[in-house]
Amino acid sequence: MQEVLKKTIEEARTMVSKKLVQQEKLVTQKTVQEALDILRGAVTIVYPMGLPPHDIIRQEFENTEDLSGTQASLEVIDMQLAQLWFSGKELLPGMKLKDYVGMNEKTKIIVKLQKRGGGRPAREPLMSEEERKQLMLHAYRRQEQLKVSEASILLIK
């Protein structure tokens, strides 16, 4: 029974994995619902009598889980209180993304979800931490080369 649950959990995770975005595969609400249905079916197989009403898994399947007082409650944003931001602009409800980006098919954009009234989200850093380290290393090496070349010029004079 453990193997059935583990196998099903792994299958559901791959259906909604973040790696799908990197592979440019679409993850829709339907895909997420299918993953939940697969999990629900596995739980039904393993627990044919059903889970008790206070079980967290059952509450999650029925969408009655109480998250108040937990860290997860901070991550949930009600649809009425949510707003999307792209390129420093709020995406208005009813507008399509192509109205902001255009019809470029291979454009990669970052859209941020935030609670309404929170203002504009922080900008993405221009460089990643690794890129910044590489730039600093290059600048240090260049500075050392200049010191050596200046020293050799002074020795020649």
pLDDT in tens, 104-145: 767 777 888 888 777 788 777 778 889 999 999 999 999 999
pTM beyond 0.85, yes or no: no
pLDDT at 157: 64
Same domain, 59 and 39: yes
Same domain, 83 and 41: no
Same domain, 3 and 42: yes
Q: Which two tokens stand for residue 10?
A: 């792994």
Query: Which residue segment(s) compose the domain that 28 sits in?
Result: 1-72
Query: How far apart (Å, rounded) are the C-alpha atoms in residues 70 and 72?
Result: 5
Same domain, 103 and 147: no
Contact between residue 85 and residue 112 where contact means Cβ atoms under 8 Å apart: yes
Contact between residue 85 and residue 114 where contact means Cβ atoms under 8 Å apart: yes
Write out pLDDT tens, residues 17-63: 988 878 878 888 899 899 999 999 999 998 888 888 888 888 888 87
Final residue of a domain: which of 30, 52, 72? 72
Same domain, 94 and 147: no
Q: For the residues 79-101, what does the mean pLDDT come to?
A: 82
Same domain, 81 and 40: no
Number of domains in the chain: 3
Scanning the chain, the segments in alpha helix (DSSP H) are 2-15, 19-22, 29-46, 56-61, 72-75, 97-101, 129-156
Same domain, 112 and 48: no
Same domain, 23 and 57: yes
Same domain, 66 and 81: no
User: Euclidean distance between the first and final Cα of the chain, in Å?
Assistant: 84
Same domain, 149 and 98: no
Same domain, 97 and 117: yes
Same domain, 112 and 134: no
Of 61-75, 79-93, 140-154, the least confident: 61-75
Q: For the residues 7-23, what does the mean pLDDT come to?
A: 89
Query: How far apart (Å, rounded) are the C-alpha atoms in residues 48 and 45?
Result: 6
